[in-house]
Amino acid sequence: AQSVAQPEDQVNVAEGNPLTVKCTYSVSGNPYLFWYVQYPNRGLQFLLKYITGDNLVKGSYGFEAEFNKSQTSFHLKKPSALVSDSALYFCAVRDEGNTPLVFGKGTRLSVIA
Amino acid sequence: GAGVSQSPSNKVTEKGKDVELRCDPISGHTALYWYRQSLGQGLEFLIYFQGNSAPDKSGLPSDRFSAERTGGSVSTLTIQRTQQEDSAVYLCASSLLGQANYGYTFGSGTRLTVV
């Protein structure tokens, strides 16, 4: 069965500094990996995905994520954080079949001016 | 429509009452999912509809929960005899059938409060 771990409930970073939100996964076969963001009182919005190809994936709002097969990780990164990036971030995984996405518990990012 | 629409956006109900939550997916999306978001618990998968196949009900927490999807479009999640632990945000999402590499489009959710 698939699973996702987001080891940090909360990440605090100063505006302008780089940010990393961690995610590790477990799946049989090749993983399909996703990051979603949830702003207050809003639904989840798709940020980026890794299916195959380059290990560094670029997505919306300047975010990127690096797929590391040996470490089974898919950490979300941004070179320079903005206050507007403050939100709840979810990592998700599925296998190659059409099974439902399995989500992590989420990491709350707080960017401080 | 342009996005996934859920109604109502908020629902307060008394313990023991039944509730129905509605989801209208993106036109052409044949896969539909229900998740539950509880504080500190992340997103919990409930049920999944894919085209005309039998739904995957493996995530439903008890037999008080059921869902149907009529005409391959609108879905209704029903919770019977609600309990306080059912209080959560219920999220619906849709995606293209059979496309494992596609992400989901989520609705804004229904916040259910059982008092």
Confidence class of residue B13 from pLDDT cuts 50, 70 and 90? very high
- Give the pLDDT confidence of B15-55 residue by residue, as tens digits: 999 999 999 999 888 899 999 999 877 899 999 998 888 89
- Residue A100 per-residue DSSP state: P
Contact A25, A31 (CB under 8 A): yes
Confidence of residue A63 (pLDDT cuts 50, 70, 90): very high
The yes-or-no verdict on residue A38 having pLDDT over 80 is yes
Q: Which two tokens stand for residue A102?
A: 């399995």
Cβ–Cβ gap A100/B56 under 8 Å: yes
| Residue located via tokens 């954080």 | A81
- CB contacts of A43 in chain B (<8 Å) are 4, 91, 106-109
CB contact under 8 A, B42 and A42: no
pLDDT at res. B101: 66
pLDDT tens digit string along B86-109? Answer: 999 999 999 886 565 677 899 999
Q: Using an 8 Å Cβ cutoff, are A104 and A2 in contact?
A: no
pLDDT at B4 > cutoff 70: yes
- Return the DSSP state at B71: T
pLDDT band at B59 (very low <50, low <70, confident <90, very high): very high
Q: Is the pLDDT of residue A71 over 70?
A: yes
Residue B26, helix vs strand vs coil: coil
Closest CA to B6 of B102, B103, B55, B77: B77
Q: Collect all residues of chain B within an 8 Å Cβ-Cβ radius of residue A42.
A: 108
CA distance B13 to B6: 17
Is the pLDDT at B57 greater than 80? The verdict is yes
Structure tokens at B101: 């590499």
> What integer pLDDT is reported at residue B1 of this predicted model?
54
Phi and psi of A79, rounded to 5°?
-65, -35
From CA A66, how far away is CA B90, in angstroms rounded?
30
Is residue A33 within 8 Å of residue A91, measured between CB atoms? yes
Give the minimum alpha-carbon distance from A97 to chain B in angstroms, rounded to a whole number. Answer: 6
